[in-house]
Amino acid sequence: MSKTTAATAALQKAGIAFDLHPYAYDPDAPRVGLQAAEALGVDPSQTFKTLMAEVDGKGVCVVVPSDGEVSMKKLAAHFKGKSAQMMKVPDAEKVTGFKVGGISPFGQRKTHPTAIDETAQLYDRIYINAGQRGLLLSIAPDDAAHVLNAGYVDVMAE
């Protein structure tokens, strides 16, 4: 497993501090983020998944707790759109340069408007995919928001 990915290279270039956390990736896990949290012994609400979606047909990135679901209505509203839907897997892999299960918000092939769920602010550090299956990184939420030019937003389904 490589410790340098497009995500870690982007953070290093930006001068952002982070720590790497490899874990045994289970491709058969029903929810990869929850499996990662369990493997690392981290609270699932502190482990964030990176999802690619489309708002009115335009790609966006949303970073949310692995134990929650995104409200497409709230996501569309945040990006001032009428409707939102999850991006199809092949499209998400193409625009990010990462494989599903290893998509990171950092170092994507194409920059997308990004939202981070507001609950990230509850933690000193959050865990996010480092751009490779079986590798998370921990980062200060404000550093993540800064480098992604992202706002904190309530995008979780009730």
Parallel, antiparallel, or unpaired for β 151-153 and 84-86?
unpaired
- The tokens describing 84, both together, are 């939102």
Measured between alpha carbons, how far is 129 from 151 in angstroms, rounded to an integer? 19
pLDDT band at 31 (very low <50, low <70, confident <90, very high): confident
The pLDDT tens digits of the residues spanning 40-63 come to: 999 999 999 999 999 999 999 999
The pLDDT tens digits of the residues spanning 61-106 come to: 999 999 999 999 999 999 999 999 999 999 999 999 999 989 999 9
Measured between alpha carbons, how far is 49 from 113 in angstroms, rounded to an integer? 16
Q: Which domains does the chain have, with CATH numbers?
A: 6-153 (3.90.960.10)
72 contacts 53 by C-beta, under 8 angstroms: yes
Of 11, 29, 7, the closest CA to residue 102 belongs to 7
